[in-house]
Amino acid sequence: MIFRIAWRNIWRNKMRSLVIILSVAIGLFAGIAVLALYKGILNSRIHTVIYAETGHLQIHHKLFKQDNEPQFIIHQGEALLAALKKNSTVKLFTTRTITQGMLATSTGSAGVKINGIIPGKEDEVSGLANKIIAGKGFDPTKKNQVFIGNKLADKMKLKTGGKLVLTFTDVDANMISAAFRVAAIYQSDNAPLDERNVYVQQSELNQMLTIGNAFHEICIILQNDALTDIVRQQLQQQYPEQLIESWKDISPETDLMIDTVDTTSYIIIGIILFALAFGIVNTMLMAILERTQEIGVMMALGMNRIRLFLLVFLETVFLTLIGTPVGLAVAWVLTLYYQQHGLNWSSAGEEVMRSFGFSSMIYPEFPTEKIVAVICIVLFTALASCIYPAIKALQLQPVEALRK
């Protein structure tokens, strides 16, 4: 009987019931939307770090990253490459020759990281060719060509075909200066990296550094992101003389950002749920005040306080159970749409996004692993919000309620 009365009560004032249903639906939708957006942002950043910047793993001489001195090449590099070819967990890899230097033009100079690459392999690992916005790839018939980032090109006022001078030291500490022509200008999702990284052909840089066919870095792409820590440990055990790092080691700020964003997302959800709770409390209090005389009649006829509390509680339960699937369905449909089509944030400031290493196109992802927790939190908030109105109803005295 109490269930039937509660069900009928929620439809006596359809507008008031609709307000609570929409409050629950909007609260659940907002919570899921925040998590989906943050998950999309995080996964986008992680994908950029792995497949456009660091790879899953990098291998260096143990002393190389202290000062990037050119003499610290990877010893027995060819044997290491042969072993990586046979490793079933390794999908792609490439080698890089790296040195620090100065880039100079008639406009000015800037400190840069000079990356000697094998063009075809580098394109497979980091997609460098796909980032070109002006010019073409390396021409095998021409020497001393260089790729520079768009931000660095603007700073140095360089265009494709422009001339610049790179100055650095070889393994014997001799100063080397060489003139290069800008073959292409590239732009990635990370503006700070674009400003300090230039790319030349590995064979030419090796010759200038006098290191033969050696290299300073191996960048590895694995078959699966989940294999990163396992493969790193295996390789470190096999090659203890080398420094083997995962993308989390190379880009600790990205790993830290994952924890920070998780905390921030739950704070925002908490604020949303607080607003939801306030709305439900306010609406249910209005319902109690409107039905004061009715409640007095029921208490005079013998309804005890426990059944009265249960009546108010069940009304909230029914409204919450209606609003929950509505909010869940809307969140799922919209997330699925933007997951396929993307959410363009360029209007919010593409340069600002790139300055922090984020793409202006975000693809939200439905937070399947957290959906149960979000639903439970929303349900708990909605049901807890009815306790105060129910207590106010219990405090009514039958005689006083009948007089109102």
* One domain for residues 373 and 269: yes
Alpha helices (runs of H) in 49-94, residue ranges in sequence order: 64-67, 77-86
Does 142 map to a domain?
yes
* One domain for residues 143 and 23: no
Does 247 map to a domain?
no
Does 140 map to a domain?
yes
* One domain for residues 107 and 212: yes
* One domain for residues 212 and 325: no
Does 83 map to a domain?
yes
Give the pLDDT score at 292: 66
* One domain for residues 205 and 258: no
Place of tokens 């960048």: 219
Close Cβ partners of 161 (under 8 Å, ≥ 6 residues apart): 135, 181, 182
Residue 369 pLDDT exceeds 90: no
Q: Please tell me the least confidently modeled range out of 189-193, 205-209, 269-273.
A: 269-273
Q: Where a domain ends, among 205, 240, 275?
A: 240
Place of tokens 């090449």: 73
Q: Where a domain ends, among 187, 212, 240?
A: 240
* One domain for residues 117 and 140: yes
Residue 197 pLDDT exceeds 80: yes
Residue 255 pLDDT exceeds 90: no
Residue 349 pLDDT exceeds 70: no
Does 173 map to a domain?
yes
* One domain for residues 132 and 24: no
Does 246 map to a domain?
no
Q: Which domain holds residue 333?
A: 2-49+254-403
User: Between 324 and 247, where is the model more confident?
Assistant: 247
pTM equals 0.80
Q: Where a domain ends, among 240, 275, 302?
A: 240
Residue 398 pLDDT exceeds 70: no
**Helix, strand, coil shares, percent, the chain, to 5:** 60, 20, 20
Q: How many domains does the chain have?
A: 2
* One domain for residues 155 and 7: no
Give the pLDDT score at 352: 63
* One domain for residues 267 and 312: yes
* One domain for residues 225 and 361: no
Does 55 map to a domain?
no
* One domain for residues 296 and 225: no
* One domain for residues 130 and 210: yes
Mean pLDDT of the chain: 86
Does 308 map to a domain?
yes
For the stretch 11-51, pLDDT in tens is 777 887 888 888 888 888 888 888 898 888 888 888 889 99
Report whether 80 contacts 292 (CB < 8 A).
no
